[in-house]
Structure 1
Amino acid sequence: MKRAIIIFASVLAALGSRAHTEESPAKEAYKDFKIVADRNIFNSERSGDRRESPRQQRTVRAAPDEFRLVGVMLNGEDATAFFEGSRSDYGGQWKKGDLIAGFKIIDVRTDGVTLEKDAKHTQLPMASAMKSSEEGVWNLTKTTGEFVRPSSESSSAAQGSGDSDGDSGEVLKRLMERRRQEVER
């Protein structure tokens, strides 16, 4: 490494003295050692000659907006629905009458919630999601355990989100049904 620095300093000194004797502009001096910056000759992990091709413009699509019903809590007349979403304002706890993504929560039950938008009612079952299309239309989707999160969050949070085999949804439904029967007694 010390040897490489000495060589680099020698090259720069030679280029600098030549530039001063010829009194060339600074741009020409940079042009002479531009190859050092382009090829990075001091990088031990460098590989073969690489040519820069014109950059192709890629269209990057943003992840669609989405929110999912992950739980409910009933306490007498007080009912709360718990959501998580692709945006921070879609997550959290919501009560009857609140708005989430333009949908008004009409009813909260142990098996899901009823949403209303533009005088149209939508039943959102437990562990299901509402996903917006590119046209801005919201569609009901069944989740698989994976959830699209904002890019700022780590992917490890998405990996530990649960089973992907679908049996967990059935177990959850049975437990909620049993709880409803206990409450009705």
Structure 2
Amino acid sequence: MGIIGSTVQPFTATAFQAGKDFFDVTEKDIEGKWTVFFFYPADWTFVCPTELEDMGEKYSVLQDMGVEVYGVSTDTHFSHKAWHDSSEKIGKLSFPFLGDQMHKLSNQFGVLREGVGLADRATFVVDPDGVIQIMEITCEGVGRNANELTRKIKAAQYVRANPGQVCPAAWEEGSDTLAPSLDLVGKI
């Protein structure tokens, strides 16, 4: 079964967020919002802090777009706090981190590495109805780009707000879109 178009199932995860007490996040917390689940293999690693710092630089832009971001790894919320408190890069981040030590989210999203206990490097964008609209999974050594993710979210939001329109390759906000029809077949 494909994951695009599927609905996020019930879950509970304990979160760490700078300046707050630990708190639980459930599927109810994402209802009515655009949400990014930003899975990464583990705290205290190499590519992960560069990606998370990049995401942190776009976090306020994403929030202005009505998007919440959750960093997710199979570490505990305690590990997230310790990493935040001891790393210059991670210490700057203000979005919440979910502990997934029981692998509920990693399994639900299909990114748990069997026999390893770590999540793949994966991003999922969920619409306000809880439906997965975008996913990206990369190999261990390839980091993601928050600018490209932001562009994709803008496109998904545009398509949702404008039924009958689609965004072509490399679409940027304000660019032309397409209205699929028989007249366009073979002419693009």
Is this a same-fold pair by TM over 0.5?
no
Question: What's the TM-score once normalised by structure 2's chain length?
Answer: 0.21
Higher relative contact order (CA 8 A, sep 6+): 2
Q: Comparing both structures, which one devotes a greater share of its residues to strand?
A: 1
Question: What's the TM-score once normalised by structure 1's chain length?
Answer: 0.22
Larger Rg: 1
